[in-house]
Amino acid sequence: MSVTATYPTAALDLDTDVLVLGGGPAGTWAALSAARAGARVVLADKGFCGTSGATAPSGTGVWYVPPDAERRQAAYLSRDALGGHLADRRWSMRVLELTHASIELLAERGYPFPHDDRGAPAHGSLQGPEYMRLMRKLVKGAGVRVLDHSPALELLVDGDGAAAGARGVRRQRGDDWVVRAGAVVIATGGCAFLSRALGCNVLTGDGLLMAAELGAAFSGMEFSNAYAISPAFASVTKTLLYKWATFTEPGGEPIPGAASQGGRSVIARWLAKGPVYAQLDKAEPSLRESMREAQPNFFVPFDRVGIDPFTQRFPVTLRLEGTVRGTGGLRIVGDDCATTVPGLFAAGDAATRELICGGFTGGGSHNAAWAISSGQWAGAGAADHGRRVRAGAGTTRVAAAAGTVALREGRAAAFSPEAVIRQVQDEVFPFETNYFRSGDKLGDSLGRLDGLWASLRTADAASRDEAVRAREAAAMTAVARWMYRSALARTETRGMHRREDHPQADPAQLHHVLSGGLDEVWTTPSSPLTRPQAELAA
Amino acid sequence: MIELVSAERCTGCNICVSVCPTNVFDAAPKGVAGGLPAIARGQDCQTCFMCELYCPEDALYVAPEADQPVLVDEPTLVRAGLMGGYRAAIGWTRDTAARRRIDSTFRLIKGF
Ligand SMILES: Cc1cc2nc3c(=O)[nH]c(=O)nc-3n(C[C@H](O)[C@H](O)[C@H](O)COP(=O)(O)OP(=O)(O)OC[C@H]3O[C@@H](n4cnc5c(N)ncnc54)[C@H](O)[C@@H]3O)c2cc1C
pLDDT per 10-residue tile (average), chain A, 538 residues: 55 97 98 98 98 98 96 94 95 98 98 96 97 98 98 97 97 96 98 98 98 98 97 98 98 97 96 97 96 98 98 98 96 98 98 96 92 98 95 78 96 97 98 97 98 97 96 98 98 97 96 98 94 48
Helix (H) or strand (E) holding B25: strand B25-26
User: Nearest CA to A317 among B66, B112, B5, B2?
Assistant: B66
Angstrom distance (rounded) from CA A234 to CA A377: 36
* Contact flag A75-B54 (C-beta cutoff 8 Å): no
Half-sphere exposure of A293 (CA within 13 A, CB side): 21
Strand A175-186, strand A344-346: pairing: parallel
Amino acid A533: pLDDT: 42
At A535 the three-state DSSP class reads helix
Amino acid A7: pLDDT: 65
The phi, psi pair for A145, rounded to 5°, reads -85, 120
Amino acid A377: pLDDT: 98
pLDDT beyond 70 at B15: yes
Its pTM stands at 0.97
Q: Is A206 in the pocket of ligand 1 (CB under 6 A)?
A: yes
* Contact flag B48-A51 (C-beta cutoff 8 Å): yes
* Contact flag A50-B17 (C-beta cutoff 8 Å): no
Q: How many domains does chain B have?
A: 1
Fill in the amino acid letter for A475: A
- The CA-based dihedral angle spanning residues A105, A108, A113, A115, taken in that order and rounded to the nearest 10 degrees: 110
State the DSSP string of B27-83: PPPTT-TT---EE--GGG-----HHHHH-TT--EEE-S--SS-----HHHHHHTT-T
> CA–CA distance from B50 to each of A229, A247, A365, B79 (Å)?
21, 30, 22, 22
Q: What CATH number is associated with residue B86?
A: 3.30.70.20
Angstrom distance (rounded) from CA A517 to CA B76: 54
Angstrom distance (rounded) from CA A109 to CA B103: 18
The pLDDT tens digits for B26-44 are 999 988 888 999 999 999 9
Q: Is A365 in the pocket of ligand 1 (CB under 6 A)?
A: yes
Asked if residue A54 lies in contact with residue B50, where contact means CB atoms within 8 angstroms, the answer is no
Asked if residue A442 lies in contact with residue A484, where contact means CB atoms within 8 angstroms, the answer is yes
Instruction: Compare all CA atoms of chain A with the CA of B87 and give the residue at the minimum distance.
Output: A296
Residues 345-404 of A with CB under 8 A from B: 364
> CA–CA distance from A178 to each of A139, A157, A326, A366, A400 (Å)?
21, 12, 32, 34, 11
Question: How many angstroms is it from A190 CA to the middle of ligand 1?
Answer: 7
Q: If you take atom 51 of ligand 1, which residue's CA is the nearest one?
A: A54
Tell me which of A293, A307, A465, A466 to substitute to probe the interface with B (most B C-beta atoms closer than 10 Å): A293
User: How far does CA B54 lie from the centroid of its chain?
Assistant: 7
Of A57, A112, A149, the CB nearest to B100: A112
* Contact flag B105-A294 (C-beta cutoff 8 Å): yes
Domain that holds residue B25: 2-110
Angstrom distance (rounded) from CA A244 to CA A30: 37
Strand B60-62, strand B2-5: pairing: antiparallel
Angstrom distance (rounded) from CA B9 to CA A491: 59
Mean pLDDT for all residues in chain B: 96
Q: Does B72 touch chain A (CB under 8 A)?
A: no
Asked if residue B49 lies in contact with residue A300, where contact means CB atoms within 8 angstroms, the answer is yes
Fill in the amino acid letter for A240: L
Amino acid A514: pLDDT: 98
Q: Is A203 in the pocket of ligand 1 (CB under 6 A)?
A: yes
Neighbours of A198 (CB within 10 A): 30
Amino acid B111: pLDDT: 76
Question: How many angstroms is it from B112 CA to the middle of ligand 1?
Answer: 24
Compute the residue count for chain B: 112
* Contact flag A196-B111 (C-beta cutoff 8 Å): no
Residue A489 neighbours by CB under 8 Å, 6+ apart:
A222, A513, A515, A523, A525
Count of pairs with CB atoms under 8 A, one residue in A, one in B: 146
Angstrom distance (rounded) from CA A468 to CA A484: 24
Q: How far apart are the first and last CA of chain B?
A: 38
Q: ∠ at Cα A288 (A286, A292), nearest 5°?
A: 140
> CA–CA distance from A41 to each of A138, A158, A187, A398 (Å)?
13, 19, 14, 20
Amino acid A395: pLDDT: 57
Q: Does B53 touch chain A (CB under 8 A)?
A: yes
